[in-house]
A and B are shown apart, each in its own frame.
Chain A
């Protein structure tokens, strides 16, 4: 909030004061404003300030990218011309716009911010009043206006589809997609992505080099901040293909375009187009909010250094030949530029590598492999022009280049602050910079900025984690996701086990089994999570995955589940409620082994485990209430137990199912006591019990409220026969079912 206030207050106040105070004072006050804004940007890092009902949102993303913009602004001010008071003022306005752009989730505010920073840039682009400057300014203005128009159109459709001006609103349908794609196109213009890039080489070349420095560092940051808020991974279905196409075109044509350039500013303009494509890859990933600012910072530092060095050489065109032997003429500038080029190329260990690494892995995590490979291949292509420039710096210097240097220095004196020699007398003498002669001061400042930028670039190279940690403050899960148990590749016996792992405390994870979602789990305060798997996993291969919401990448563990040798139940789950009209028990066991299932100690029959290792048994209608089921190996006194609750049947149900027998198929052997039954219709059934031909008992079995019938028997050992008939039928009728059992 203070950042916004300082920027806005300084800009407004200086607009009035600039007419009365000296140019030098104006410049220094502007610099002071930017520095103050930067200080308040850093104070409270990691916290989020909201204002104006959510229209202004100063979070880590906004802080990071505002800081990049402030850095660019300061740099361009320190190196830039001071002949006119408008220059610092325009930069200040642009920075203010960029700050608002990166700190608002509201599309209308974004539009205002876009205009706020674009207009000063149009003026700055024409700073050199020659044909090239006018061409640059006009092109920039016309295409910028077009982009703004497209943006407005996109906002309108977006509002129509979602009913909201806030970025990230949920929506669907063709209107939503069209709106997002138009907004994407508008940002395509601003970030110079192919096919919306045509203005950028001309503008970068035609503008004064210091202004180009500002454009490539700060403007990109602003546009990507807004894109990060609008194009969230949740909505990737709507904009994913559009952005993928832009990225593919941008990385291919940006790099191919750079291959044939012979002028340095133009070459790096094309390189900057290509880099926009790389940065945009980060939008696909789950943690782009941290990766993209990191990339932009490394990119801004490297490009900033390059343009600062080019600005030392000339404010006009810099043919590549001018760079020949720069290292021998200006060792610091040559070294800085060489390192920056390597960083842009993305060779480790320089910071540019970590930037590329981070945004590429975002796309990889989201599964955009083709784009990742394309980006990597085009990076390899870019090696040609980067290395060409790099080796030019270290080539033997030519006389011509040295002569050009002297000439350019004279020209720069015309353009730069040194020509303001008269104003030195009136400048406030408090700041050390102002004490020096202006020409010396410019050189000293540019050297100082170079050293500072180089040091920051080096720091990010050696300790990339520091930068990422800063940009991910309050955003990223720090702890990587993992599944610690069961171990990958483990061979498990079927049974109940739990998935365990680590993650960021408090985050919610989604768990999958062979791609089927199992459920969510929340990571505990100790950074660990555990998830009890459904009582018994099916045998075979299981790929368990834990994902952060919206991510494709997952922690995985692949296990083989083999049937347990110990008989066990797999379904229903322990303690669950089952139907009083019968249900099916499932379980596992050793293939070929004989098992017997009991209900409260009463046998429901024996079975042989099939080759799959999974058995099932139909339970005849049980009595409502708590029941304990048990599966035992034959001949053993106890086994695995399962507690179930048999629900109360719904009274008055119409019983019209055909007669059925659930368990105890004829001819089997069973332990006593045992129970068999099934469902049926009518009044009920009568059972005739026989040993051989001798009738030893009769029993009437009315249907229960759940339409079930059940017979509990406890006969002596030996062969026994049960005949089931519809109630009321004489025993001379043929039986509905005849069950021969061998009781043990």
Chain B
């Protein structure tokens, strides 16, 4: 089942690329089937155990390069499972709503396989393969459907990503060959954590690669141009949001494999994350267009997640993973929502688009839900994760947590300002249509997801808590 779920989007994407006449319905069906498979996986998941590596279900391993210990090994732990679901839901929403050429949808489906592979890979090299390969469809989407100034955005994105992730390969070698593991399998690597003098360097390799994919300050600079230049429908941006898997990668690979390296860099990352959170919130506040605002907003939220994760506490870890999953859905949906606004007004600027509330009240309500989720209003999906992340971080570093907490307040400021400008000022004379039936479905599914994650977080945190405890146990923590 896990193999079908993983490869179905890729095969569907390739089919669609070669035969665009299959149409968008085909893409929607593929994405829907993938989402259903993720639900089946979710229902069949039954984790037990107290240590990392014991919570992994649906394990398979087939030798890929057996001579050098590389396997096609899949398996989902609780975090991977939830993020896999978040990805398949967001892709389904995107494919459902975005008004884009069919080949664009095909690229999104191809990218989906890469993303889910990142969460399901149980072999470090295979993880690396998915982590890197996902770059290709992402670049192609930007190239084929991006804005006028896309070439610079592409180079910035590609160079940041590659300069980060190619040297990471050295860390991949180091954890195995210096750690003495017989293979790259997750279980083997966990049994041979890397210590000693090389640990700091090895962790740095992971840190740079994953920090790019978390948009940690100062490695965040690729994201605003990436979002600004991408197709206004927001589909590519939503996929880009899903690609920001840094927190998961830190959690599953970097931290448990190089625990002593984590301790060496913990302080630095905590500081950068706290600073990044408030800095990005400030930039979001002064953003002139929606996509820049969302880019900085997402950077700010990811920084809060990272702060929680790098506290090394159980709560912080759970919070970080929750932030990641929640923001995949609300930021992704937000980008798609912006696409809807664009369709009606033809602009992405925050200021000139005014008073949509009068003409499109349903759109207005959807926007309200999304922005409130983004702010972290209790009851919506943004809240539980940020709360736990900050709580975990508070135990380790109260002052940095306080600084980061200011960004939550700032989020309210920038989100509400933008909201007010677009929806509540004196309306333009030009009328715009409200949601049509397709958009209604999109809106209701999104709002249900936001409410479910906000009101009943326990449904998901039960899968994360044992992981958080196990990770904290590496550092002697129990809370």
Q: Check: B162 CB closer than 8 A to any chain A CB.
A: yes
Binds A, one of B75-83, B169-177, B352-360, B404-412: B169-177
A222 at interface by CB-CB < 8 Å: no
* Contact with B133, one of A349, A379, A387, A488 (Cβ below 8 angstroms): A349
Instruction: Given A376-B169, A394-B143, answer yes or no on A387-B177 (Cβ-Cβ < 8 Å).
Output: no
Q: Nearest chain-B residue to A371 (Cβ)?
A: B170
Partner of B64, one of A346, A361, A384, A465: A465
Stretch at the interface among B150-158, B282-290, B297-305: B150-158
* A380 at interface, CB cutoff 8 A: yes
Indicate if B43 sits at the interface (CB-CB under 8 A): no
| Contact across chains for A342 and B159 when beta carbons are under 8 A apart | no
Give chain B residues whose Cβ lies under 8 Å from the Cβ of A349.
Answer: 129, 133
Given contacts A481-B182, A555-B180, contact A342 B67 (CB under 8 A): no
CB contacts (< 8 Å) of A361 on chain B: these are 68, 173, 177
Total A-B contacts with CB atoms under 8 angstroms apart: 123
Q: Determine the distance from Cα of A383 to Cα of B164 in the docked complex, in whole angstroms.
A: 12
**A391–B154 touching, CB < 8 Å:** yes
| B125 and A357 contacting across the interface, CB-CB below 8 Å | yes
Cross-chain contact A380 with B163 (CB below 8 angstroms):
yes
Distance from B190 Cβ to chain A, minimum over Cβ atoms (Å): 10
Pick the residue among A364, A391, A464 that contacts B177 (CB under 8 A): A364
- Residues of A near B182 (CB, < 8 A) are 480-483, 502, 555
Are B129 and A353 interface neighbours, CB within 8 A?
yes
Contact B166 A287 (CB under 8 A): no
Q: Which of A373, A480, A482, A552 contacts B67 (CB 8 A)?
A: A480
Contact B66 A465 (CB under 8 A): yes
Complex contact A364–B173 (CB within 8 A): yes
Q: Which residues in A have their C-beta under 8 angstroms from that of B58?
A: none
| Contact indicator per residue, chain A 357-378, by CB within 8 Å of chain B (1) or not (0) | 1101100110001001100110
Q: Check B67–A487 contact: CB distance below 8 A.
A: no
A592 CB to closest chain B CB, in angstroms?
A: 29
Given contacts A347-B135, A377-B166, contact A387 B155 (CB under 8 A): yes
Mark out the residues of chain B between 43 and 66 whose CB falls within 8 Å of any chain A CB in the assembled complex. 63-66
Give the contact stretch, choosing among A120-128, A180-188, A444-452, A469-477: A469-477
Min Cβ gap B83→A in Å is 20
A64 smallest CB distance to B (angstroms): 15
* Cβ contacts B219-259/A at 8 Å (1 or 0 each): 00000000000000000000000000000000000000000
Answer yes or no: A540 CB below 8 A from chain B CBs. no
- Tell me whether A377 and B163 are in contact (CB under 8 A): yes
B222–chain A nearest beta-carbon distance, Å: 13
Q: B241 to chain A: closest CB distance in Å?
A: 21
Q: Does A632 contact B (CB under 8 A)?
A: no
List the A side residues contacting B65 at CB < 8 Å: 354, 358, 464-465, 468
Q: Does B128 contact A (CB under 8 A)?
A: yes
Taking a contact as CB atoms under 8 Å apart, the answer to whether A373 and B170 are in contact is yes
A380/B128 in contact, CB under 8 A: no
Q: A347-B136, A353-B129, A360-B173 given as contacts; is B183 within 8 A of A391 (CB)?
A: no
Known: A353-B129, A556-B192. A342 touches B136 (CB 8 A): yes
Partner of A545, one of B63, B140, B163, B180: B180
A556 — nearest CB in chain B belongs to which residue? B180
Q: How far is the CA of A384 from the CA of B67 in the complex (A)?
A: 33
CA gap between A391 and B155 in the complex, in Å = 11
Contact residues in A for B169 (Cβ distance below 8 Å): 357, 360, 372, 376
Q: Does B69 contact A (CB under 8 A)?
A: yes
**Residue A348, interface by CB 8 Å:** yes
Q: In the complex, what residues of B have CB within 8 A of residue A489's CB? A: 191
Chain B residues with CB under 8 A of A354: 65
Q: Is B132 an interface residue (CB 8 A)?
A: yes
- B64 touching A480 by the CB < 8 A rule? no
Q: Which of B139, B158, B180 has the most CB of A within 10 A?
A: B180
Closest to A394 in B: B143
Query: Given the known A-B contacts A383-B162, A480-B182, A482-B182, are A464 and B64 also in contact in the complex, defined by CB atoms under 8 Å?
Result: yes
Interfacial chain A residues near B143, Cβ < 8 Å: 391, 394
| Contact of A557 with B133 in the complex, beta carbons under 8 Å | no
A398 CB → nearest B CB, Å = 16
B457 at the interface (CB under 8 A from A): no
Residues in B with CB closer than 8 Å to A557 are 180, 192
Q: For A364, what are the chain B residues with a Cβ–Cβ distance below 8 Å? A: 170, 173-174, 177
In contact, B68 and A380 (Cβ under 8 angstroms): no
Question: Is B276 in contact with chain A by the CB < 8 A criterion?
Answer: no
Is the Cβ of B177 less than 8 Å from the Cβ of A553?
A: yes
Given contacts A380-B159, A387-B154, A556-B180, contact A488 B173 (CB under 8 A): no
Contact with A along B180-205 (1 / 0, CB 8 A): 11110000100110000000000000
Give per-residue flags for B321-347: 1 if the beta carbon is below 8 A from chain A beta carbons, else 0.
Answer: 000000000000000000000000000
Whether B173 lies near A380 (C-beta < 8 A) is no
Q: Are B191 and A348 in contact (CB under 8 A)?
A: no
Assess whether A478 is interfacial by the CB under 8 Å rule.
Answer: yes
- Kindly state the separation between the CA atoms of A23 and B158 in the bound complex, as whole angstroms: 50
Contact residues, A368-417 vs B (CB, 8 A) = 369, 372-373, 376-377, 379-380, 383-384, 387, 391, 394
Please tell me if the beta carbons of B144 and A394 are within 8 angstroms of each other in the complex.
yes
Give complex CA distance A478, B63 in Å.
Answer: 11
On whether the beta carbons of B191 and A372 are closer than 8 Å, the reply is no
Chain A residue at minimum C-beta to C-beta distance from B135: A347
B166–A376 CB distance below 8 A: yes
Distance in angstroms from A314 CB to nearest chain B CB is 26
Interface residue B167 (Cβ < 8 Å from any Cβ of A): yes
Does A595 sit within 8 A of B, measured CB to CB? no
Closest-CB distance, B324 to chain A (whole angstroms): 23
Within the complex, the shortest CB–CB distance from B231 to chain A, in Å, comes to: 16
Is B261 part of the binding interface, using a Cβ–Cβ cutoff of 8 Å?
no
A290 within 8 Å of B (CB atoms): yes
B136 to chain A, nearest CB (A): 6
Q: Is A280 an interface residue (CB 8 A)?
A: no
Of listed B143, B167, B170, residue having the most chain A CB within 10 A: B170
In the complex, A267 has a CB within 8 A of chain B: no
Q: B192 touching A465 by the CB < 8 A rule?
A: no
Cα distance A346–B182 in the bound complex, in angstroms: 25
Known: A347-B132, A482-B182. A358 touches B68 (CB 8 A): yes
**Of the residues B125, B128, B129, B173, contact of A372 by C-beta under 8 Å:** B173
Closest to B165 in A: A380
A383, B125: Cα distance in complex, Å: 20
The contact string, 1 if C-beta is below 8 Å from chain B, for chain A 552-584, is 111111100000000000000000000000000
Q: How far is the CB of B195 from chain A (nearest CB, A)?
A: 8
Docked-complex contact B174 and A369, CB < 8 angstroms: yes
| Structural contact, B132 and A376, CB atoms closer than 8 A | no
Q: Within residues 212 to 257 of chain A, which ones have a CB less than 8 A from any CB in chain B? A: none
* Contact status A383-B69, CB under 8 Å: no
Assess whether B179 is interfacial by the CB under 8 Å rule.
yes
Residues of A contacting B68 with CB < 8 Å? 287, 358, 361, 468, 480
- B-chain residues with CB within 8 Å of residue A365 when the two chains form the complex: 173, 177
Contact A488 B69 (CB under 8 A): no
Residues of chain A within 8 A of B130, CB atoms compared? 348
A373-B170, A379-B166, A468-B65 known; A391+B159 contact, CB < 8 A: no
Given contacts A360-B173, A464-B64, A472-B67, whether A348 and B167 have CB atoms under 8 Å apart is no
CB distance from B154 to the nearest CB of A (A): 7
Tell which of A360, A480, A487 touches B69, judged by Cβ atoms closer than 8 Å.
A480
* Chain B residues whose CB sits within 8 angstroms of the CB of A360 once the complex forms: 169-170, 173
Given A369-B170, A377-B167, A555-B181, 18 more A-B residue pairs with CB atoms under 8 Å apart are: A290-B67, A369-B174, A372-B169, A376-B169, A377-B163, A379-B166, A391-B143, A463-B64, A465-B63, A468-B65, A480-B68, A480-B69, A480-B182, A480-B183, A481-B182, A487-B191, A552-B177, A557-B192
What are 21 pairs between A and B in contact, CB < 8 Å? A290-B67, A349-B129, A349-B133, A353-B132, A364-B170, A376-B167, A376-B169, A377-B163, A379-B162, A380-B162, A387-B154, A394-B143, A394-B144, A463-B64, A465-B65, A465-B66, A472-B67, A488-B180, A502-B182, A545-B180, A556-B181
